[in-house]
């Protein structure tokens, strides 16, 4: 059947003939005339277009996820349940998310307000908002030009985690959304969501020019900003073998390539602090609710934020095709600028991250012009292992933004290994970075600035891990976390 089907504000819709590259935002405003959802940037940066989708979490349970409707293509919603701000309209009165904004005077011109309300809606039903900084993280994807964030945050504090029992919470008690297998076309464009790996290999064999897509937070910009009209998109979203997080008996973590980054972030909390730290400053919650591990790595962006962490932690990448699986070390995956080791008709299935051994020191850093929602100027992740005498026995120093691909500094690592872990050795190693990296000068930073930052990050790593070998982010670590003085 060549039709799309999803549940919008508790009403199932079925339709065909609309181009697969149509975004949910355009559909809501132009076709459904649901103009509560606003367009600000059309690139995932402002949150004015935030809606909520019911999504399966890693345990298979339904959860509400705030997402940017400007980055979602309609076929990605096949079989799913979506709520826009209009769904909150009820004869019974305001939803607690709306009531809290009114009470705390969290709206002026109102342009951002529907998006803020939908982010607060998601936060209302979350049960993991147990540290104050998480309120900032829940809201950092919603820009407001006039109200000021304090009143919005006060509203968030009131409503977050309140778990109202209402017609929405009934959705969380029900079954998780089912499989979304789909073959859809309109005009010259096609969108296929294979329901099994066998089906995926068939589609890729029959269509060598097909483009893979997962969350669409990277690829979506080609459509909204460059007006691309891909002839065939093949989504990996319904492929269960590529999803989820599993801890293997030897402590290795298996992270499915199609796993959303909010799920990876939640899992990594306390377990793998270098990953948790990097994901804290990766985009906004709306982006991470769609962005995946595989999408981030397969763009092979020199400033993709997961790559340095996985390089430093010694991860292996699992590549899958009809011929089976093969594993490559993280550093062999990135071949050249935006070029990976993936062969034709091959996908990234997962990454495997070994546990941190005893004696390990590891952390990660992201340096950008803004703390929230910004692209890295330089990112770094470091791992060193020390023997009982304090000598370095192994080192992996990985950087983003310093070369055409995310890469390790082998020269600096060589200086560290075999020597005592102290400032003198670290300074000598930092001075070696110029052997491996000739960074670019661009609008984010000059080559000299990047090198200086890269050196200082290594020294900072030494200092930061002196007391705590594998530090989490310090808490509270945001400008607003002390507001109201309490937890969420």
Ligand X SMILES: Cc1cc2nc3c(=O)[nH]c(=O)nc-3n(C[C@H](O)[C@H](O)[C@H](O)COP(=O)(O)OP(=O)(O)OC[C@H]3O[C@@H](n4cnc5c(N)ncnc54)[C@H](O)[C@@H]3O)c2cc1C
Q: Interface residues with ligand FES (CB under 6 A)?
A: 39-42, 44-49, 68, 70, 107-113, 144-147
What is residue 425's DSSP assignment?
H
Closest distance between ligand X and the C-beta of residue 61, in Å?
A: 21
Phi, psi of 28 (to 5 degrees): -60, -45
Closest distance between ligand FES and the C-beta of residue 485, in Å?
A: 25
* Pair 200, 348: CB distance under 8 Å: no
Q: What sign does the dihedral 219-71-285-240 (CA atoms) show? A: negative
385 binds, among ligand X, ligand FES, none (CB under 5 to 8 A by kind): none
3-state helix, strand, coil in the chain (%, to 5): 30, 25, 45
Residues contacting residue 156 through CB under 8 Å, at least 6 positions apart: 100, 120, 123, 135, 138, 139
Q: Interface residues with ligand X (CB under 6 A)?
A: 43-45, 211-219, 236, 257, 282-283, 287, 290-292, 294-296, 298-299, 304-305, 342, 347-348
Nearest residue (CB) to ligand FES, 100 versus 353:
100
Give the Cα separation of 387 and 142 in Å (integer): 46
Omega of the bond leading into 476 within 30 degrees of 0 (cis): yes
234 binds, among ligand FES, ligand X, none (CB under 5 to 8 A by kind): none
Closest distance between ligand X and the C-beta of residue 64, in Å?
A: 19
Nearest residue (CB) to ligand FES, 40 versus 295:
40
Closest distance between ligand X and the C-beta of residue 442, in Å?
A: 16
Closest distance between ligand FES and the C-beta of residue 129, in Å?
A: 22
110 binds, among ligand FES, ligand X, none (CB under 5 to 8 A by kind): ligand FES
Nearest residue (CB) to ligand FES, 42 versus 457:
42
HEC string for 198-221: HHHHHHHHHCCCCEEECCCCCHHH
Nearest residue (CB) to ligand FES, 107 versus 409:
107
Closest distance between ligand X and the C-beta of residue 254, in Å?
A: 14
Question: What is each CA distance from 66 to 55, 86, 361, 443, in whole angstroms?
Answer: 10, 15, 35, 31
Closest distance between ligand X and the C-beta of residue 425, in Å?
A: 31
Nearest residue (CB) to ligand FES, 131 versus 372:
372
Nearest residue (CB) to ligand X, 217 versus 405:
217
Instruction: Characterize the bridge pairing of strands 232-235 and 324-329.
Output: unpaired
The neighbour count for residue 444, using CB atoms within 10 Å, is: 18
Nearest residue (CB) to ligand FES, 49 versus 160:
49
* Pair 462, 354: CB distance under 8 Å: no
294 binds, among ligand FES, ligand X, none (CB under 5 to 8 A by kind): ligand X
Measure the CA angle with vertex 290, ends 141 and 26; round to 5°.
75
Closest distance between ligand FES and the C-beta of residue 16, in Å?
A: 25
107 binds, among ligand X, ligand FES, none (CB under 5 to 8 A by kind): ligand FES
Nearest residue (CB) to ligand X, 44 versus 96:
44
401 binds, among ligand FES, ligand X, none (CB under 5 to 8 A by kind): none
Nearest residue (CB) to ligand X, 96 versus 302:
302
217 binds, among ligand X, ligand FES, none (CB under 5 to 8 A by kind): ligand X
**Which of 28, 149, 139 has its CA nearest to residue 82?**
28
304 binds, among ligand X, ligand FES, none (CB under 5 to 8 A by kind): ligand X
Closest distance between ligand FES and the C-beta of residue 109, in Å?
A: 3
46 binds, among ligand FES, ligand X, none (CB under 5 to 8 A by kind): ligand FES
The neighbour count for residue 336, using CB atoms within 10 Å, is: 9
Q: Which residue is nearest to ligand X (CB)?
A: 295
* Pair 238, 180: CB distance under 8 Å: yes
Give the Cα separation of 225 and 232 in Å (integer): 18
Nearest residue (CB) to ligand X, 289 versus 385:
289
* Pair 436, 410: CB distance under 8 Å: yes
466 binds, among ligand FES, ligand X, none (CB under 5 to 8 A by kind): none
* Pair 278, 309: CB distance under 8 Å: yes
Kindly tell me the number of DSSP H helices and DSSP E strands found in the chain. 17, 20
Closest distance between ligand X and the C-beta of residue 211, in Å?
A: 5
């Amino acid at each position: 059947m060549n039709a799309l089907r999803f549940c919008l504000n508790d009403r199932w819709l079925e339709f065909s003939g609309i181009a697969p590259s149509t975004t949910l935002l355009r559909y809501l405003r132009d076709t459904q005339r649901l103009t509560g959802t606003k367009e600000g940037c059309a690139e995932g940066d402002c949150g004015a277009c935030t809606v909520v989708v019911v999504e399966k979490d890693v345990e298979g349970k339904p959860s509400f996820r705030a997402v940017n409707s400007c980055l979602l293509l309609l076929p990605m919603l096949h079989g799913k349940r979506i709520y826009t701000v209009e769904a909150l309209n009820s004869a019974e009165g305001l939803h607690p998310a709306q009531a809290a904004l009114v009470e705390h005077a969290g709206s002026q011109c109102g342009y951002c307000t529907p998006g803020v309300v939908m982010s607060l809606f998601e936060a209302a039903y979350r049960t993991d908002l147990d540290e104050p900084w998480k309120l900032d993280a829940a809201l950092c994807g919603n820009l407001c030009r006039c109200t000021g964030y304090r009143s919005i945050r006060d509203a968030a504090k009131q409503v977050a985690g309140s778990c109202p029992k209402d017609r929405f919470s009934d959705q969380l008690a029900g079954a998780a959304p089912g499989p979304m297998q789909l073959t859809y076309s309109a005009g010259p464009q096609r969108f296929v969501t294979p329901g099994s790996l066998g089906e995926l290999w068939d589609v890729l064999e029959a269509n060598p020019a097909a483009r893979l897509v997962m969350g669409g937070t990277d690829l979506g910009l080609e459509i909204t900003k460059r007006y691309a009209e891909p002839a065939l998109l093949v989504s990996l979203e319904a492929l269960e073998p590529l999803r989820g997080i599993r801890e293997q008996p030897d402590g290795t973590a298996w992270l499915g390539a199609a796993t959303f980054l909010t799920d990876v972030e939640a899992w990594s909390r306390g377990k793998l602090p270098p990953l948790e730290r990097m994901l804290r400053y990766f985009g906004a919650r709306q982006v991470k609710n769609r962005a995946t591990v595989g999408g981030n790595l397969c763009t092979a962006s020199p400033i993709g934020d997961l790559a340095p962490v996985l390089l430093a932690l010694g991860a292996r990448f699992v590549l899958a095709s009809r011929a089976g699986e093969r594993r490559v070390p993280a550093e062999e995956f990135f071949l050249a600028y935006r070029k990976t080791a993936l062969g034709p008709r091959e996908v990234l299935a997962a990454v495997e991250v070994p546990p941190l051994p005893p004696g390990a020191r590891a952390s990660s850093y992201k340096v950008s012009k803004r703390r929230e929602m910004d692209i890295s100027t330089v990112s770094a992740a470091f791992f060193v292992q020390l023997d009982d005498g304090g000598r370095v026995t192994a080192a992996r120093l990985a950087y983003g933004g310093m070369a055409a691909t995310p890469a390790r500094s082998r020269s600096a690592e060589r200086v560290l290994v075999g020597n005592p872990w102290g400032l003198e050795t670290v300074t000598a190693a930092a001075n070696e970075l110029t052997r491996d990296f000739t960074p670019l000068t661009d609008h984010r930073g000059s080559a000299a600035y990047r090198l200086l930052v890269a050196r200082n990050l290594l020294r900072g790593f030494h200092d930061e891990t002196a007391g705590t070998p594998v530090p989490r982010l310090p808490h509270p670590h945001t400008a607003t976390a002390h507001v109201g003085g309490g937890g969420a």
